[in-house]
Amino acid sequence: MEEETDQQEQMEEETDQQEQMEEETDQQEQMEEETDQQEQMEEETDQQEQMEEETDQQEQMEEETDQQEQMEEETDQQEQMEEETDQQEQMKEETIPQGVSAIWHFSFATDAKLR
């Protein structure tokens, strides 16, 4: 009977060990699952950061395009101003000889009357 009790106790101890091993296995699996979840979260964070970086680059490219367009517009305005200045100078040049001519005619006419 004592032998049966010893066997019973040994079986219970083996059962306890088996249960403990199963529990440790469960804990190990849970830890691995948590590690997998953590890695997935880190990967998603990396993807998010990459998307933000690409968005930043896109915004920078758009800003550079806007600056380029503004520079082209300023160049166009500058060219237009130069063209207007050239036209004004040409008009002055065309007007001055006529004015001088008119002054000469007036001057001769006045001289003739005075004589």
Specify if 87 maps to a domain: yes
Of 81, 89, 84, which is closest to residue 73 (Cα–Cα)?
A: 81
**Could you give the C-alpha distances from 47 to 42, 44, 51, 110, in angstroms and in order?**
9, 5, 6, 92
The predicted model scores a pTM of 0.48
Which pLDDT band, with edges at 50, 70 and 90, does 28 fall under?
A: very high
Containing structural domain, residue 97: 79-110
Q: Would residue 97 count as lying in a domain?
A: yes
Number of folded domains that form the chain: 1
For the cut 80, the answer to whether the pLDDT of residue 96 exceeds it is: no
First to last CA, the chain: 168
- The answer to whether position 91 is within a domain reads yes
